[in-house]
Structure 1
Amino acid sequence: MAPRVDDEESQKDRPSTQSLSSQERASVENISITSSMEDAFEPKWPRSWRAYTCWLGCFFLMFNSWGLVNAYGTFSSYYVGNSLREVDQLELNLIGSTQSFLVLLFSAPVGKLLDAGHFRYVVVTGTFLVPFGLFMLSVAHPKNDALASFGSIWATQGLVVGLGMACFFVSSSQIASTWFRRSKSLAVGVVACGASIAGVVYPAMIRFLIEELGFNNAVRGVAGVAGVTCVYSLIFATPNPAHVHPKSQSYRKLSTWIDKEALANKAFCWFTAAVAFLFLGFYPVFFNLEEWAAVSGLGTRGGSSAPISASAPTTAPMQTYFMLMIMNGASTFGRLAFAFFGDYTGALNMHIVTQIVSSLLIYILWTLAGSTAAAIAFCVFFGMFSGSVIGLPPASIANILNCTYTDPSKKHLAHAKLGQWTGMMYSVAAIPALIGPLIAGHLVTEYSTYITVQIWSAVSLTLSAMCMIVARWYLPTVDGAHISTHLYRFFGKHDKADEVEKRRPTHATVESTNALNQSLSRSTTRVNSKVASRQMSEEKIASPPEPVLLGPEKNV
């Protein structure tokens, strides 16, 4: 008699029971040991060339999603002095924040579609929309110094390109993580470098092509680079064939898109709040950095400080583009270095440290920067730490999942739910990503000073760090105990620590008990009577020191 299948996802991850003996089928310990051995003997780095071509493809996916968002500051500085010189700073920030909003809003549905194996449709959609939107921007933008229509630029660069970028963002980290299970933090960190590298390449490319060919041809050049790299990703960015893609029963059900277990997980909820505060204050720094430098006299346009609102067109380029390039270049180093250490210290632990340092850099270094040297120092150090801050959320979610599903029989869920949990987290942050730069732009217009942006960003990142600390409070440490237990022991209250741990059953304890009972009750023997099978299961549970093995010789 074949074993009853209650969980299709679990059965796919387990070795086939058809070829096992009745003794092996009856032992839940064998299942757990097999699952653990698979993880133990899996190489730290894949040996297939497909893993590394996929890795580069995922890098390009990030290159053409958040990379274009990071480069928007250069577009904005051009618009201020030229085609959108009569537009308020709030509206200018709306173009970039619309891109951020769409990328994050569609993270949850995109993550679920990727979990279900529909990665090809997702990447094809983005491959069409991103180059198409950029090309249409070059058509919609007027030539020479004529005023442009804000609506047409927002529709092409903000809406169309933003929708295409939404298909790439979660795909980049989720597809790469299927190949690099044992080096997930570093692998995702390298992929995240695509955003910072694009933040160096695209601003420099736009800056020099505008001088040589004009804005419209410069945008067409960016569209060409995006098109070529998107096609490469379409061909090579494919998940590991061994990765399980659980099929959803119905896409009309809310439970298909929202995992109730995630909403019941306190660590996940607090970390989601942290990411929401992060996006509330993070991109105002990138969107307003060049204009801040120009208004402060640290970078010039035409040999003089630029006013907050330009009244006449000028062909002189903004001499502050290099600051955005420096910040994005330093971000590359930070993403790699901190992601590497994240595999050893824990991604969430590393995330907390870099978040705190980033907020302090804004409080101290940016607000007090009164010279070009101080401004460059801020760009370097903030770039390093902020690169980790914006690149580590997927790895931190993986960290939370690994601490949640610790039982071997449930461990596959830590991989299977990564896309859905990551997407849910980013979708919650969509509204803050939209309104954060808008509020910052309004503060600049209202008070005619960039100190408002600096304080807004610093406070938002501080609140984000506090939420991360609370999320970490609910997760166990390496030895399985919680932080509260270690604090009680540190102050000598060992009895209180033991009492707290006894009252707090871990996920591993609950899931191990459930898995044991379910596996034993479903053990397959050659006995036709179900009553006899239940009696044998009860006998095994009653005497754990000497488990009854249901081998062929024991069957009646």
Structure 2
Amino acid sequence: MVRSFDKDSRKGSDGTFPLSNAPTDTVSIPDMSPRPSLSSLDEPDWPQTWRAYFCLTGCFFLMFNSWGLVNAYGTWSSYYVGHSLLGTDQLKLNLIGSTQSFLVLLLSNPVGRLLDAGYSRHVIGFGSVMVPLGLFLLSVVHPSELGVLANFGTVWGLQGFLVGLGMAPFFVSSSQVAATWFPKRRGLAVGYVACGASVAGVVYPTMLRYLILELGFNNAVRCVAGLTTVTCLFSFIFATPNPAHDHHEPKSWASKRTWFDTDAKNNKAFWWFTAAVAFMFFGFYPIFFNIEEWAAVLGYGTRDGVGIKIAFAEETDRPIETFWLLTIMNGASTAGRLLLAHFCDKVGALNMHSAAQITCSLLVLILWPLAGSENAAIAFCVVFGLFSGTVIGCPPASMANILNCTYSSPEDAHFAKKKLGHWTGMMYSFAAIPALTGPLIAGHMITTYNTYLTLQMWSGSCLLLSFVCMLFARWYLPCLDGEMVSIKLARKLGRHVDPTREKSCVSDVAFDERLSQAPTRVQSQMPSRQISREKVDQPERMV
């Protein structure tokens, strides 16, 4: 069981331990974990209060109104390019969606730190006002007459910046708040919350498409804003942390260690994985933002309006409407996120993440360019959507693997849980610039070279580079038996192995549940395996 510590020692964020790079003698380490209390043994697997499940629903809606709106932006872009922003460069159109993802990622670190300090009501309340307000204002300033062009700066300012600013508090809050109510089912609870993004990617495009046809764009946006208002209000009321959850304010908000944990600066696995996430965002969202226009240009789907510079191919009989492709992709992503929560514990989060990443890159580099029919386009959306759910949901789980191997001894193992939000927030903040510039680069290449092949090669190459960085991160983490990859490789090549170079990730029975991709099987003095399973805060399964 993870070692607990009193409130005084937890107050502030400066208490850290140096990175453990020295070999660890797992046999000589005594069991320093406190014995579980009778109350913890009697605690049910699932909460018995209705507040926990209302909070879970509220957190689902937080994700629904953050990354869900980003995932649905392709349908907005498809309308803009054929109507109110006719003739606008694809780079500018992508800028609206990429600004949203940029703000969500950039503010992940400060939002997470505020949540740790107990300001969840403030950050969720801020987002609950900004997201509906931005959408309502967009429906007011957008021209209501067909054929009248909108002002790009106004659309970007309201939908890109104002709505994106409101999304930022929702992303981190959704998982952190829900996890406080489900200590023994944290992974599954947060996995269900993560599905809010992909479910919104189904609901919002479908809703927007049909309401535009029936009511017009402005009224359709008002209906979407009404839905966000109701769901945000529900989240503000019910998405509150468990009162028993302990918060800790930093000693000084101006301290550098409050916002950047200096323990991470020498951790090679952390930096390689952060680079992997940055490359992932370089290439990931250009696919979601441009899939509808690609289908319309090549004649695999139809949408109202014209105005793109690339000429349309001859359309097939009764082609699918393009918004269905984005809807299918997001729907398949839901299944991918649920599979993530189930299989991460079996194969390891970083291992699973790497496998999904290389699969996505090959799909984009090979299958997408070869999709020469409507059925092939649908097949690509289904298969890519399935693996993309794992790719976009795995970073917190993979970061937890790195933390468990960084803080591996029983004395400092509790920091692996305590610092998960902090390190994950830092990782996402570093990925903010790639999330902003990736879709812009892809949009510029589309208009410059007049082909979507540039988008496919750009996104596929970025995802492939992300996979390579994940391999380097994996190199600095131990294998299942606690032995480093370099040691195993040297032994296979017949080279002399220096035992002092071996770094193992200590895994007491309390870490046994395959929480990381590299638990070490060691003898433990814990009374029983059942008691060891009371280590219920499983950060690796956050998605």
Q: Please state how far the C-alpha of 1:479 moved relative to its aligned partner.
A: 2.9
C-alpha separation in 1, matches of 2:143 and 2:306: 26
Q: What CA deviation, in whole Å up to 9, does each residue of 1:254-307 have, x standing for no partner?
A: 2110001122222111111110000000000000000000001111246x9984
Opposite residue 291 of structure 2, the aligned amino acid is L
Q: Please state how far the C-alpha of 1:11 moved relative to its aligned partner.
A: 12
- Report if aligned partners of 2:104, 2:169 keep a CA contact under 8 Å in 1: yes
C-alpha separation in 2, matches of 1:348 and 1:36: 33
Number of the residue aligned with 2:292: 290
Kindly tell me: are residues 353 and 111 of structure 1, through their superposed partners in 2, closer, same or farther at Cα, counting changes over 3 Å?
same
Q: Please state how far the C-alpha of 1:235 moved relative to its aligned partner.
A: 1.8
Q: 1:150 aligns with which of 152, 160, 163?
A: 152
Q: Please state how far the C-alpha of 1:120 moved relative to its aligned partner.
A: 1.2
Opposite residue 152 of structure 1, the aligned amino acid is T
| Structure 1: tracts of 5 or more residues without a match | 13-27, 312-316, 510-556
Kindly tell me: are residues 349 and 242 of structure 1, through their superposed partners in 2, closer, same or farther at Cα, counting changes over 3 Å?
farther
Structure with the larger helix share: 1
Corresponding position: 1:134 with 2:135: yes
Kindly tell me: are residues 428 and 296 of structure 1, through their superposed partners in 2, closer, same or farther at Cα, counting changes over 3 Å?
same
Kindly tell me: are residues 489 and 98 of structure 1, through their superposed partners in 2, closer, same or farther at Cα, counting changes over 3 Å?
same
Number of the residue aligned with 1:448: 450
Q: Please state how far the C-alpha of 1:471 moved relative to its aligned partner.
A: 1.1
Number of the residue aligned with 2:501: 503
Number of the residue aligned with 1:34: 35
Q: Please state how far the C-alpha of 1:239 moved relative to its aligned partner.
A: 2.4
| Structure 2: tracts of 5 or more residues without a match | 14-28, 313-318, 508-543
Number of the residue aligned with 2:247: 245
SS of 1:358's equivalent in the other structure is: helix
Number of the residue aligned with 2:370: 368
Q: What CA deviation, in whole Å up to 9, does each residue of 1:331-387 have, x standing for no partner?
A: 001110122101222211111111111111111110111100000000000000001
Q: Please state how far the C-alpha of 1:144 moved relative to its aligned partner.
A: 1.5
C-alpha separation in 1, matches of 2:142 and 2:247: 43
Opposite residue 341 of structure 2, the aligned amino acid is A
Kindly tell me: are residues 382 and 432 of structure 1, through their superposed partners in 2, closer, same or farther at Cα, counting changes over 3 Å?
same
C-alpha separation in 2, matches of 1:270 and 1:42: 39
Q: Cα RMSD over matched residues?
A: 2.8
Opposite residue 281 of structure 2, the aligned amino acid is F
C-alpha separation in 2, matches of 1:229 and 1:105: 24
Q: Please state how far the C-alpha of 1:249 moved relative to its aligned partner.
A: 0.8
Q: 1:172 aligns with which of 160, 164, 174?
A: 174
Q: Please state how far the C-alpha of 1:475 moved relative to its aligned partner.
A: 1.7
C-alpha separation in 2, matches of 1:192 and 1:360: 25
Between structure 1 and structure 2, the one with the greater Rg is: 1
Q: Please state how far the C-alpha of 1:97 moved relative to its aligned partner.
A: 0.6
Opposite residue 92 of structure 1, the aligned amino acid is L
Q: What CA deviation, in whole Å up to 9, does each residue of 1:202-258 have, x standing for no partner?
A: 000000100111101101111111111111111222223343322201111121100
Please list, as runs of the form range in 1=range in 2, the aligned pairs for 1:397-408 lying within 5 A after superposition.
Answer: 397-408=399-410
C-alpha separation in 2, matches of 1:226 and 1:177: 23
Task: Tell me which moved more, 348-357 or 239-248.
Answer: 239-248
Q: 2:206 aligns with which of 182, 201, 204?
A: 204
- Report if aligned partners of 2:12, 2:250 keep a CA contact under 8 Å in 1: no
Number of the residue aligned with 1:358: 360
- Report if aligned partners of 1:363, 1:455 keep a CA contact under 8 Å in 2: yes
SS of 2:220's equivalent in the other structure is: helix
Opposite residue 87 of structure 1, the aligned amino acid is T
SS of 2:479's equivalent in the other structure is: coil
SS of 1:238's equivalent in the other structure is: coil
Number of the residue aligned with 1:429: 431
Number of the residue aligned with 2:327: 325
- Report if aligned partners of 1:295, 1:308 keep a CA contact under 8 Å in 2: no
Kindly tell me: are residues 349 and 49 of structure 1, through their superposed partners in 2, closer, same or farther at Cα, counting changes over 3 Å?
farther
Number of the residue aligned with 1:529: none
Number of the residue aligned with 2:189: 187
- Report if aligned partners of 2:302, 2:321 keep a CA contact under 8 Å in 1: yes
Q: Please state how far the C-alpha of 1:310 moved relative to its aligned partner.
A: 9.3
Task: Tell me which moved more, 406-415 or 214-223.
Answer: 406-415
SS of 2:34's equivalent in the other structure is: helix
Opposite residue 251 of structure 2, the aligned amino acid is Q
C-alpha separation in 2, matches of 1:479 and 1:70: 39
C-alpha separation in 1, matches of 2:120 and 2:143: 37
Corresponding position: 1:86 with 2:84: no
Number of the residue aligned with 1:479: 481
Kindly tell me: are residues 241 and 451 of structure 1, through their superposed partners in 2, closer, same or farther at Cα, counting changes over 3 Å?
same
C-alpha separation in 1, matches of 2:401 and 2:347: 11
Number of the residue aligned with 1:63: 64
Task: Tell me which moved more, 142-151 or 450-459.
Answer: 142-151
Q: Please state how far the C-alpha of 1:9 moved relative to its aligned partner.
A: 1.4
Corresponding position: 1:54 with 2:55: yes
Kindly tell me: are residues 104 and 40 of structure 1, through their superposed partners in 2, closer, same or farther at Cα, counting changes over 3 Å?
farther
Opposite residue 426 of structure 2, the aligned amino acid is M
Q: What CA deviation, in whole Å up to 9, does each residue of 1:393-451 have, x standing for no partner?
A: 12222222223223333232222212211110110000000000000000011011000
Q: Please state how far the C-alpha of 1:159 moved relative to its aligned partner.
A: 0.6
C-alpha separation in 2, matches of 1:208 and 1:320: 13
Q: 2:264 aligns with which of 251, 262, 268?
A: 262
Number of the residue aligned with 1:519: none
SS of 1:32's equivalent in the other structure is: coil
Opposite residue 132 of structure 1, the aligned amino acid is L
Number of the residue aligned with 1:227: 229
C-alpha separation in 1, matches of 2:501 and 2:182: 36
- Report if aligned partners of 1:135, 1:223 keep a CA contact under 8 Å in 2: yes
Kindly tell me: are residues 48 and 406 of structure 1, through their superposed partners in 2, closer, same or farther at Cα, counting changes over 3 Å?
farther
- Report if aligned partners of 1:101, 1:431 keep a CA contact under 8 Å in 2: yes
- Report if aligned partners of 2:135, 2:221 keep a CA contact under 8 Å in 1: yes
Give TM-score scaled by structure 1 length. 0.81
SS of 1:56's equivalent in the other structure is: helix
Q: Please state how far the C-alpha of 1:175 moved relative to its aligned partner.
A: 1.9
C-alpha separation in 1, matches of 2:33 and 2:363: 47
- Report if aligned partners of 1:339, 1:388 keep a CA contact under 8 Å in 2: no
Kindly tell me: are residues 470 and 182 of structure 1, through their superposed partners in 2, closer, same or farther at Cα, counting changes over 3 Å?
farther
Number of the residue aligned with 1:521: none
SS of 2:209's equivalent in the other structure is: helix
SS of 2:302's equivalent in the other structure is: coil
Q: Please state how far the C-alpha of 1:329 moved relative to its aligned partner.
A: 0.4
- Report if aligned partners of 1:173, 1:394 keep a CA contact under 8 Å in 2: no
- Report if aligned partners of 2:128, 2:236 keep a CA contact under 8 Å in 1: yes
Q: 1:272 aligns with which of 271, 274, 281?
A: 274
Q: Please state how far the C-alpha of 1:46 moved relative to its aligned partner.
A: 4.2
